[in-house]
Amino acid sequence: MFVKRKKLIWGISTKADGSMKFSNERTDWKVLINRKMFFSKIKIDLANVVSAEAVHGNKIKVVNRQDAGKVIKNVDGLITDSKKVFLAVTVADCLPIYLFDSKTKVIGLLHAGWRGLEKNIIENAIKAMIKKFKVKLAHLEVWIGPYIKSCHYRVRNDLINKFSNYPEALIIKNNKYFIDLACIAKQKFIDTGVNNVNIKISLKCAHCLKDKYYSYRRDKPKRLKAMVAYIGQRI
């Protein structure tokens, strides 16, 4: 986890807070109510939250106060240096990746599944932080929140082939293939220049903790239900 800082606020909702994933077809008032209740509980005004649509892509958007209250379409990563702007992404097995530069106070939040990792969302986020805010990787801290761990993330061998450069993340048991997505993400951060000691990974598996977290693979819902991950800074 990040070194404790008074003004940095970050975390993730649970099943008890209700689903936080908006429908693509229409405004979901139940989800909106869930979000309002959840964020008010942690003393965040929903009008100050910027959300990524999360489409399993690799696009990063730099946002500011003008984007507050919006859902940014077709992106899976958000970055800002604006105070009182809180970033949000939804997850239900994929990695919520929190970024914080202790010197520039720039924050970021990524939604990363295997597709996003394959499409280099991490590398894109790092490039954007450096280009826009002159972030020094020596100061960048990374935390990966609850996700579906390799104990339940069984995949086909074609997916194993996509990540053959990360053998430490690939597991074969009884002729079955499994992947640890956070292991891949961590190595990608290290390869870009982030210090290994500044990368922390949650020990919690979204699939295992069925009473606490949504899991798309476990629940197989007709309509996706998800947690919301968030990060921001109070003035």
Q: Is residue 1 part of a domain?
A: no
Q: Is residue 122 part of a domain?
A: yes
Strand partners, 200: 143
DSSP 17: G
Contact 104, 135 (CB under 8 A): yes
Q: How are beta strands 199-201 and 140-144 bridged, if at all?
A: parallel
Q: Is residue 68 part of a domain?
A: yes
Number of domains in the chain: 1
pLDDT tens figures, 165-180: 999 999 988 889 999 9
State residue 7's pLDDT score: 86
Cα–Cα distance between 193 and 197 in angstroms, integer? 12
The CATH code of the domain that includes 113 is 3.60.140.10
Quick check: 1 pLDDT over 80?
Answer: no
Q: Is residue 179 part of a domain?
A: no
Pseudo-torsion of CA 160, 146, 87, 117, nearest 10°? -10
Closest among 120, 119, 121, 113 to 226, alpha carbons compared = 113
Q: Per the structure block, which two tokens stand in for 185?
A: 């993400």
The residues, any chain, with a CB within 8 Å of residue 182's CB and separated by 6 or more, are 95, 144, 147, 149, 201, 202
Helical spans, DSSP H, in 6-109: 29-41
Q: Is residue 75 part of a domain?
A: yes
Contact 232, 9 (CB under 8 A): yes
Cα–Cα distance between 100 and 188 in angstroms, integer? 17
Q: Is residue 163 part of a domain?
A: no
Range of the domain at 66: 8-148+195-233
pLDDT tens figures, 41-92: 999 999 999 999 999 999 999 999 999 999 999 999 999 999 989 999 999 9
Q: Is residue 22 part of a domain?
A: yes
Q: Is residue 107 part of a domain?
A: yes
